[in-house]
Amino acid sequence: MGSRVLSLRVDGELLERMRQHAAKRGMSVQDYVVRTLIREDFDERFKTSVDETARLGGWGPAPEESPATPPH
C-alpha cells in the first residue's frame, strides 16, 4: 500500500487545537489526523458489522414490551 498526498485547508484555530492534541500524545499533526480518521473508520465499520450480524442472527435489541394492564 503506497502513500498518497491529501491537501487540506483548515481554520487556524482548528489547526492549533490539533497541534495541542497531537503534542499531548507526542505525535505530529499528520499522525494525529491519520489516527483519528482510522479510528472513526473502524468505529463506523464495527457498528455496521454489529448491526448486520444482529439483523442476520435475530439477536438485535429486544423489542419494547407494552406495560401490563392492571386487572379491573
pLDDT tens column, 57-72:
766 555 565 555 555 5
Predicted TM-score of the model (pTM)? 0.58
Residue 55, classified by CB atoms within 10 Å of its CB into exposed (0-12), middle (13-18) or buried (19+), is exposed
Domain spans, the chain: 29-57
Better-scored residue on pLDDT, 21 or 48 = 21
Q: Is the pLDDT of residue 52 over 80?
A: yes
Q: How confident is the model at residue 35 (pLDDT cuts 50, 70, 90)?
A: very high
pLDDT score of 19? 96
